[in-house]
Amino acid sequence: MRTVNMHDAKSQLSKLVEQALSGEDVVIAKAGVPAVRLVPVQRGQVDRKPGRFRGEITLAPDFDETPEEVITAFEGSA
């Protein structure tokens, strides 16, 4: 982990950003106390691929059927 003071960070910002992008842990300190950490911005999510889990997930045959006792437990008796 590399720690630099605020004044040095101002004059070396480009270099510090490159170090953070390459995976180095860069901390900027104020008055000798660590204040912030430079980290790369996370890139967007990976595109979805429909059917990616086809054949790996199964649903019970009665998945869409709710037992009467469960309905009664939620709604109460009429």
Tell me whether residue 78 is in a domain: no
Per the domain annotation, does 21 fall within a domain?
Answer: yes
Instruction: Concatenate the DSSP letters of all residues of 8-61 into one string.
Output: HHHHTHHHHHHHHHTT--EEEEETTEEEEEE-PPPPPPPPP-TTTTTTT----T
pLDDT of residue 42: 82
What is the structure's pLDDT at 43?
Answer: 78
Q: How far apart are CA 24 and CA 59, in angstroms?
A: 45
pTM of the model: 0.53
Q: Which pLDDT score, from 0 to 100, does residue 74 have? A: 92
pLDDT < 70: residue spans in the chain: 78
Q: Give the pLDDT confidence score for residue 1 in this predicted structure.
A: 84
pLDDT of residue 78: 57
Q: What is the CATH number of the domain that holds 12?
A: 3.40.1620.10
First to last CA, the chain: 66
